[in-house]
Amino acid sequence: MRQQGINAFITPSTDPHCGEYVPRRWQSREWISGFTGSAGTAVVTLNDAALWTDNRYFLQAEGQLKDTEYQLMRLGLEGTPSVQDWLRDKLQCDDKVGVDGWCYTIDGINELRQALNPWGIQVMSVGDPYNEIWTDRPTIPDNAVEIHPMEYAGETARSKIGRVREAIKAKRADATVISMLDEVAWTLNLRGTDVDYNPVFVSYLFISTDRAILFVNPQKLSEEVVRYLDFEGVETMDYDQIAPFINSYKGALILQPEKTNVNIQNALKQGVLMHGDCPVTTMKIMKNETEIRGYHSAMLKDGIAMVKWMKWVVPAVQQGGQTELSLEKQLLAYRAEQPLYKGESFDTIMGYGYHGAIVHYEPTPDTDIPVLPKGLLLIDSGGQYLDGTTDITRTIPLGPLTFEEKRDYTLVLRGFINLGRAVFPRGTYGSQLDVLAREPMWKYGMNYLHGTGHGVGSYLNVHEGPHQFRMNYMPTPLLPGMTITDEPGIYIAGSHGVRHENTMLVVNARLRSYDHHTPPLPHDEGAGQPADGLTFGPYYQFEHLTLCPIFTTPIIKQMMQPEEIEWFNAYQQMVCEALTPHLDPETADWLREITKPI
């Protein structure tokens, strides 16, 4: 930093493609801080160091930063300064803050400048310092790229590129650069293995009204893939040619400022710069019929694996000798038996007892603990199958439970049910529904500091946006074809955690009978204003894609309302009927017993 004349350097947890999970090469924030969570920002000045992360990782970060120079900054808590405020305090007028422009978004650097420039502090893109100081830094992966067949994708790359071109033209632009790896993979029907859990590959995709160019290390492309790309009308250039290419581009280039690194924007010298949303984002979240059929298939297989594991786990724990890691290993084995299985969709969260209260706890040999036949085990996991991605959480009663464990189990279940059985008119977005999952526990003074749900990709990233269930304002209406999880929780530090999670699909609602129903007002038909959700329909609801029972023994039935019980019993019954034909008789018996109505 002294050589470069900068007084502070910011290392975010992202990469040139603004990813949540990033290839090891760009895990510089983990390398410089030792904190391994998926979200965090490390800031180093000449005298101080601090790391910001969110509530999912507070406990984990406390542990990993202990005895380091890093001060932990808990995002979202009152009194926690923002990175900008902290820098303003630590630095002086004429000081300089450095970032790597490949790993910082256009929006990100603009926000920094807006906050710091008025105080005389400059923000500069100084290149990637980890090239020098991180001596054993991993290279950019050159793993092979695979074609994602039409039988799972449901739409050709050529057709998707055509739709992107329509969107570009509608905005009166000439071209765009797609940086997000899942958006490139989705558009081209290609998959890779460059990032843990996310089947993507490092690349940029340039699409103009007459060209489509994939910027990628050519070693990653087999002859078959090269022929395929040619057939779909896609040229290829080397990954590091993106900046020179943009440099010489003369058209109107539209970039999404929160999803594009600032060096891409800075490379544009001769063309016209425009800002706008990437059209692929909204195309990708509306699943086509083939993808929906794939989810059903993947969820069936995932349910079979989960049921086998759930039947196995309680007696196994009773026999003794199990740990969080041994239980995880067995679940992976059951999933691996399933056809088209490609791996986990994220690092399994297997939290026994007090580990369940660490929202994103992932057991390692260092943290692994024995699992005993009492209390609760929280298991949040998912699989990548060629035909779909799954994400499921169940909380397993392993033996005697305390009153608090049962009560929290029931309160979370009520929230899960109330959100999961919601019906809502066109235009409604997730932030407006989020409270349905929280209200039952709020009445007991309980809350959770994470969102309640996220989109799930189709053999792609397990986190897919922008739609979500959150208290925060995020006005993306939920529309038929979108996937979203429903996952409220309660976490009692040092004691236990509960979370129930299904992956769901937005579908047209089956409304309750409204006999002799007169339309409410003459302007009923087609009314709607997406921004505020005030419409007379059509109405939507959620189809629960996840096929896996929920244990009933911890439920305190008196705390539940009849409508909730009715929904719950129907869900359990549906799971039982869907899975039974695919189970051996013993497992089918077990499932029938487990899913008996409460």
Question: Using CB under 8 A as the criterion, which residues of the chain lie in contact with a second copy when the complex forms?
Answer: 55, 58, 74, 76-79, 357, 403-404, 407, 422-425, 428, 431-436, 439, 442-447, 449, 470-473, 475, 490-495, 509, 511-512, 514-523, 526-529, 531-537, 539, 561-563
Tokens of 87: 């820098």
For a second copy, give the closer residue by CB, 226 or 423. 423
The SS3 call for residue 246 is helix
**Minimum CB separation from a second copy for residue 354, in Å?**
11
Q: Which residue's CB is nearer to a second copy, number 77 or number 574?
A: 77
CB of 508 to a second copy, least distance (A): 11
- Identify the residue whose tokens are 């009492």: 374
In angstroms, give the least distance from the CB of 544 to a second copy: 16
179 touches 318 (CB < 8 A): no
Measured from the CB of residue 18, what is the shortest distance to a second copy in angstroms?
Answer: 22
Residue 260 · residue 103 · CB < 8 Å: no
Instruction: Give the H/E segment covering residue 230.
Output: helix 223-231
Tokens of 38: 């998926």
Closest to a second copy by CB, 4 or 529: 529
**Dmax over Cα atoms in the chain, in whole Å?**
79
150/570 with CB nearer a second copy: 570
Distances in Å between the alpha carbon of 508 and those of 383, 426, 478, 511, 573? 27, 10, 11, 9, 22
The least distance separating a second copy from the CB of residue 560, rounded to whole angstroms, comes to 10
Instruction: Please tell me whether the peptide bond between 530 and the residue prior to it is cis, using omega within 30 degrees of 0.
Output: no
DSSP conformational letter for 406: H
* One-letter-per-residue 3-state SS of 41-70: EEEEECCCEEEEECHHHHHHHHHHHCCCCC
Q: Please identify, using beta-carbon distances, which residue of 39 and 126 lies nearer to a second copy.
A: 39
Of 440 and 457, nearer to a second copy (C-beta) is 440
CB burial of residue 522 (10 Å; 0-12, 13-18, 19+) = exposed
DSSP 413: H
Q: Are 486 and 393 in contact (CB under 8 A)?
A: no
Phi and psi dihedrals of 332, rounded to 5? -60, -40
101 versus 537: smaller Cβ distance to a second copy: 537
Q: Structure tokens of 214?
A: 């994939």
Distance of CA 597 to the CA centre of its chain: 33
In the complex, least distance from residue 318 CB atom to a second copy, rounded to whole angstroms: 27
Q: What are phi and psi of 437, to 5 degrees?
A: -80, -20
Rounded to a whole number of angstroms, the CA Rg of the chain reads 25
C-alpha 447/C-alpha 438 separation (Å) is 7
Distances (CA, A) of 41 to 51, 205, 308: 6, 27, 40
The smaller minimum CB distance to a second copy, of residues 231 and 444, is found at 444
**What is the residue type of 209?**
T
Closest contact distance (angstroms) between CB of 15 and a second copy is 27
Query: In the bound complex, what is the minimum distance in angstroms from residue 436's beta carbon to a second copy?
Result: 7
Kindly state the smallest distance separating residue 171's Cβ from a second copy, in Å. 16
- C-alpha closest to that of 197 among 345, 79, 414: 345
Minimum CB distance to a second copy smaller for 73 or for 327: 73
Q: How far apart are CA 125 and CA 108, in angstroms?
A: 12
Q: Give the tokens for residue 429.
A: 């977005």
Nearest approach, Cβ of residue 366 and a second copy (Å) = 22
- Tell me how far, at minimum, the Cβ of 438 lies from a second copy, in Å: 8
Taking the complex as a whole, how short is the minimal distance between the CB of residue 522 and a second copy, in angstroms? 6
Length of the chain: 598
The residue (of 419 and 579) whose beta carbon lies closer to a second copy is 419
**CA angle (29, 35, 37) in 5-degree steps:** 90
Rounded least distance, CB 237 to a second copy, Å: 38
**Considering only CA atoms, which of 451, 463, 378, 364 is closest in space to residue 64?**
364
Cβ closest to a second copy, residue 139 vs residue 472: 472
Q: Are 99 and 126 in contact (CB under 8 A)?
A: yes
If the CB atoms of residues 93 and 521 are measured against a second copy, the closer one turns out to be 521
Q: By C-beta, is 336 or 556 nearer to a second copy?
A: 556
Q: Hey, what are 165's tokens?
A: 């071109």
